[in-house]
Structure 1
Amino acid sequence: MASDLLQQIGIWIRNMALLYFVVAQTNGDPIAVSLLTVAEYAPIFIFSIIGGVLADRWRPKRTMIIGDLLSLLSIAPILWAVQAGYWQAVFVAAGVSAIVSQFSQPSSMKMFKRYVPDSQVGSAIAFSQTMSSLFIIGGPVLGTFIYTRYGISFSLSSLLVLFALSALCLSLLPKSEPVDRTERTSVYAEWKSGLGYVKGKRQLLVLFGLFALIALSAGLIQPLEIFLITERLQLPEASLQWFTAVSGMGMLLGGILAGVLSAGGHLLGKERRILLLGTLVFGAATIVEGLSLWPFLTGSMRLMTGVLLAFMQTVMATIMLTSVEERYVGRINGLFTPLFTGFLLLGTACAGVYMHATSLTFVFITSGLILGAASFVTLGLRSGPALAPGESVAVVPRAPGLEAE
Structure 2
Amino acid sequence: MGDLWRNKTFMLVTTSDVMQQIAIWIRNMALLFFVMEITNNDPVSVSLLTVAEYAPIFIFSFVGGVFADRWNSPKRTMIWGDILSFASILVIIFLIWNGLWMAVFFATFVSAVVSQFSQPSSAKIFKKHIPEQHVPTAIAISQSMMSLFIIIGPIIGTIIYTQVGMYPSLISLCVLFLLSAIILSFLPKDEKGTVETDATFFEEMKQGWKYVYRQAVLRNLAITYVFVGLAVGLTQPLEVFLVTNRLGLSKEYVQYLTAVGGIGILVGGIVAAMVSQRLKSKTVLFAGLLFLSVSFVVEVWSTTFWLTATMRFIGGMMTAAIGMITTTLFIKLVDSELVGRVNGTIVPMFMGTMLLGSSLAGILMETISLWGVFILAASIMLVAVIFSTRVVEETKQEKVAPSL
TM-score (norm 2): 0.84
CA distance in 2, matches of 1:394, 1:29: 49
Cross-structure match for 1:190:
204
Larger radius of gyration: 1
Cα deviation, 1:261-320, whole Å, max 9, x if unaligned, reads 22xx222xx111221222233333433444445544433322222211111111111111
How far is 1:43 from its partner?
1.6
Return closer, same or farther for 1:277/1:35 CA change in 2, 3 Å cut-off.
closer
| Contact 1:215 1:341 (8 Å CA) reproduced | yes
CA distance in 2, matches of 1:253, 1:167: 29
Runs (5+) with no aligned partner, structure 2: 1-13
Cross-structure match for 1:344:
354
2:293 pairs with 1:283? yes
CA distance in 2, matches of 1:151, 1:359: 32
Cross-structure match for 2:401:
395
| Contact 1:147 1:155 (8 Å CA) reproduced | yes
| Contact 1:196 1:396 (8 Å CA) reproduced | no
Per residue, is there more helix in 1 or in 2?
2
| Contact 1:213 1:374 (8 Å CA) reproduced | yes
Mapping of residues 2-401 of structure 1, within 5 Å: 2-22=15-35, 36-58=49-71, 59-178=73-192, 181-229=195-243, 239-262=253-276, 265-267=277-279, 270-292=280-302, 294-351=304-361, 360-361=370-371, 363-383=373-393, 386-388=394-396, 391=397, 393-395=399-401, 398=404
Return closer, same or farther for 1:40/1:189 CA change in 2, 3 Å cut-off.
same
CA distance in 1, matches of 2:294, 2:348: 27
Cross-structure match for 2:10:
none
Cα deviation, 1:244-263, whole Å, max 9, x if unaligned, reads 3322222221111112222x
Cα deviation, 1:28-75, whole Å, max 9, x if unaligned, reads 677765654443233223222101110111111111112122223334
Cα deviation, 1:115-168, whole Å, max 9, x if unaligned, reads 222222221211222233223322121123233444444443343333232122
In the alignment of these two chains, the number of paired residues is 390
**Which AA in structure 1 matches 2:211?**
Y
How far is 1:224 from its partner?
4.2
Secondary structure at the residue paired with 2:314? helix
How far is 1:10 from its partner?
2.4
Cross-structure match for 1:402:
none
Cα deviation, 1:170-215, whole Å, max 9, x if unaligned, reads 1111112146644343221110111111111111101101111222
When structure 1 is superposed on structure 2, of 84-93 and 335-344 the one drifting more is 84-93
**Which AA in structure 2 matches 1:286?**
F
CA distance in 2, matches of 1:271, 1:167: 34
CA distance in 2, matches of 1:83, 1:223: 27
Secondary structure at the residue paired with 1:346? helix
CA distance in 1, matches of 2:343, 2:395: 19
Runs (5+) with no aligned partner, structure 1: 399-405
Return closer, same or farther for 1:379/1:9 CA change in 2, 3 Å cut-off.
closer
Q: CA RMSD in A?
A: 3.1
**Which AA in structure 1 matches 2:378?**
G
How far is 1:105 from its partner?
1.0
Secondary structure at the residue paired with 1:206? helix
Cross-structure match for 2:4:
none
| Contact 2:81 2:117 (8 Å CA) reproduced | yes
Secondary structure at the residue paired with 2:278? coil
CA distance in 2, matches of 1:161, 1:242: 25
| Contact 2:48 2:358 (8 Å CA) reproduced | no
Return closer, same or farther for 1:31/1:379 CA change in 2, 3 Å cut-off.
closer
* % identical equivalent positions: 47
